[in-house]
Chain A
Amino acid sequence: MSEEAESGTMEGKPVVLVEGLHKRFGATHVLKGIDLAVEKSQVVCVIGPSGSGKSTLLRCMAFLDRYDEGRVFIENRLLGYRETDGELTRDSERNIDSVRSVIGMVFQHYNLWPHMTALGNVTEALRVVRKLGRREAEHIGMEMLGKVGLNDKAHDHPARLSGGQQQRTAIARALAIRPHVMFFDEPTSALDPELVGEVLQVMQELASEGMTMVVVTHEMGFAAHVADEVVFMDDGEVVERGSPDDIFKRPRSDRLREFLDTWRSRAI
């Protein structure tokens, strides 16, 4: 499958293109010039110590946080800003929504809507954004819940689901609008260890179906097996990037070596 992805590189432009991205929260410089390209059907995993700016990068790539410098292109369309003579001005909500509409996002804490059933969560955007009728929306909704193995939980509220089931519902919700690329921000970090597997399995299936994915994760096993490219971030910079083998077997920088050592010692 990684070969497929590489042949994709030759043809089209990247689905996600990040150029020279900077982000500051007040005085703290959180992202210090990030470049990233994600090709169609490629899976990019972002790893790095906590506080290194992984979530911020993903949030800027979705324009949930506005970035200060640089560009984010989603399928060749600039996200968040309009550019005139090199000057960036904030884009309208409508245009931002339109560029964003091909991104599906999955959060660490699921962010399900607790007052709706699992099915209600999945169909909400279909009904409100796509303006589908109830039956059609529920038909698609059940299909999506089936994809994540939750057909039998469709009519339960999130409070009655396990963490793993909630996260799978959140994945189904993001898939319902048929995104071209999926962003995952530590999707298994809030889960009890025994529930991690079921979520990773769903993600792995998505990857094998050719979904383009950007995954911030601490699951090194997942990154090693599923990623086409692994990006190591530290202190707001991309320190190293390469194939899983390069990153996990032949780390070049001290910072990455140190990070992997800490991780291994904790994993034992």
Chain B
Amino acid sequence: MSFDIDIVFRYGPLLLSGLWTTVYVCALASLLAVAAGLAAALLYGLPFRAVKLLCRAYIEIMRGTPILILLFILYYGGPSAGLTLEAETVGIVGLGFYGGGYFAEIFRAGFQSIPPGQIEAARMLGIPRPAIVARIQIPQMLTLIIPPSTNQVIILTKESALLSIITVAELTKNTTQMVNETFAVVEPYVAVALLYWLIIEGIALAGGALERRFSRAS
């Protein structure tokens, strides 16, 4: 087994373009996941049985099904239900709603951590619900939810490697192409593992910085 660094450099542009796709797909999917999770957690808090049940079902399905199956349902099953999406869109939507199931639980724990009396005080003053969420609940739960959220974004980034299976030209897909063209195995995979490691260390660092910033504020 020998390591030919030249191959990696020759395929540098391909790897970098894959890296870029991975980064922006993951960024968009993470945003969608946070939004979907927040929405589900808020709906879960409403006093309607049916809504609660629907949210529970959404959360359990997302958490109990492999992301690969969800991607296949969207990508291959979508067209027969009249929903034809680009692979990359499927990736963002699929990863986003999948992650939403996990973020919903993170937010739910966050909302539960705020004493209900604080919300009652706000309601008595006529403060509207959106302002209660944005100005009273979320600022207080940041220290609690940032660490698991960071972790969730990391998991989501790792899961994004699966988008290669539905032909999205992200990091893993481009690496596979490199393997197929060069017949080299060691170099591409070592390179790709290092790149993922870098992205993930970057997310962990950013999450840590956020955490420090908000724990100082409170």
Question: Residues of A at under 8 Å CB distance from B?
Answer: 62, 64, 93, 97, 100-101, 103-105, 107, 109, 111-115, 124-125, 128-129, 170, 173-174, 177
Taking A64-B124, A115-B136 as given, write out 10 further A-B residue pairs in contact, using a Cβ cutoff of 8 Å, ordered by the A residue number: A64-B120, A97-B128, A100-B123, A101-B126, A105-B124, A111-B118, A113-B122, A113-B140, A114-B218, A129-B125
Establish whether residues B124 and A129, one from each chain, have CB atoms under 8 Å apart when the complex forms.
no
Asked if B64 is an interface residue, CB under 8 A from chain A, the answer is no
Shortest Cβ distance from residue B144 to the other chain A in the assembled complex, whole angstroms: 12
**Are A128 and B128 within 8 A (Cβ)?**
yes
CA–CA, A103 to B139, complex, Å? 27
CB of A124 within 8 A of CB of B124, answer no
> In the complex, what residues of B have CB within 8 A of residue A113's CB?
118, 121-122, 136, 140
CB of A66 to closest CB in B, whole Å: 10
Tell me whether A124 and B135 are in contact in the complex, defined as CB-CB below 8 angstroms, given that A107-B121, A111-B121, A115-B140 are known contacts.
yes
Q: Can you give 22 A-B contacts (C-beta < 8 A)?
A: A64-B124, A93-B129, A97-B123, A97-B128, A100-B124, A100-B126, A101-B126, A104-B124, A107-B120, A111-B115, A111-B120, A113-B118, A113-B122, A113-B136, A113-B140, A114-B140, A115-B217, A124-B125, A129-B127, A173-B125, A177-B125, A177-B126
Most chain B beta-carbon neighbours within 10 Å: one of A107, A111, A129, A177: A111
Enumerate the 6 nearest inter-chain pairs by beta-carbon distance, A residue then B residue, closest first.
A111-B117, A125-B125, A111-B121, A105-B124, A129-B126, A128-B131
Shortest distance from the beta carbon of B22 to any chain A beta carbon, whole Å: 36
The B interface, classified by DSSP as helix, strand, loop or mixed, is: helix
B residues near A125, Cβ cutoff 8 Å? 125-127
Q: Report the tally of A-B residue pairs with Cβ distances under 8 A.
A: 63
Set of chain B residues within 8 Å of A93, measured between Cβ atoms: 129
Partner of B123 from A64, A124, A173, A174 at Cβ < 8 Å: A64
Chain A residues with CB below 8 A from B218, complex form = 114-115
Partner of B139, one of A64, A112, A115: A115
Q: Which residues of A contact B121 (CB under 8 A)?
A: 105, 107, 111-113, 170, 173
A93 — nearest CB in chain B belongs to which residue?
B129
- By a CB distance below 8 angstroms, the chain B residues around A101 are 126
Interface residue ranges of B91-134 to A (CB < 8 Å): 115, 117-118, 120-129, 131
Can you name the residue of chain A whose Cβ is closest to the Cβ of B140? A115
| B126 contacts A97, C-beta separation under 8 Å | yes
Complex contact B126–A107 (CB within 8 A): no
Taking the closest CB of chain A, its distance from the CB of B166, in whole angstroms, is 43
B116 → chain A closest CB, angstroms? 9
B42 to chain A, nearest CB (A): 15
Query: B120 and A128: CB pair below 8 A?
Result: no
Residue in chain A with minimal CB distance to B214: A115
B126 partner residues in chain A, CB cutoff 8 A: 97, 100-101, 125, 129, 177
The docked-state distance in angstroms from the alpha carbon of A64 to that of B123 is 9
Q: How far is the CA of A169 from the CA of B127 in the complex (A)?
A: 18
Provide the residues of chain A in CB contact with B123, threshold 8 Å.
Answer: 64, 97, 100
Residues in B with CB closer than 8 Å to A100 are 123-124, 126
Q: A170 contacts which chain B residues (CB < 8 A)? A: 121
Distance A93 CA – B131 CA, assembled complex (angstroms): 14
A114 to B217, CA, bound (A): 11
Q: In the complex, what's the smallest C-beta–C-beta distance from B146 to chain A, in angstroms?
A: 15
- Chain A residue with minimal CB distance to B121? A111
Complex contact B125–A107 (CB within 8 A): no
Contacts of B124 in A (CB 8 A): 62, 64, 100, 103-105, 174
Chain B nearest CB from A252 CB (Å) reads 35
Residues of chain A within 8 A (CB-CB) of B118 are: 111-113
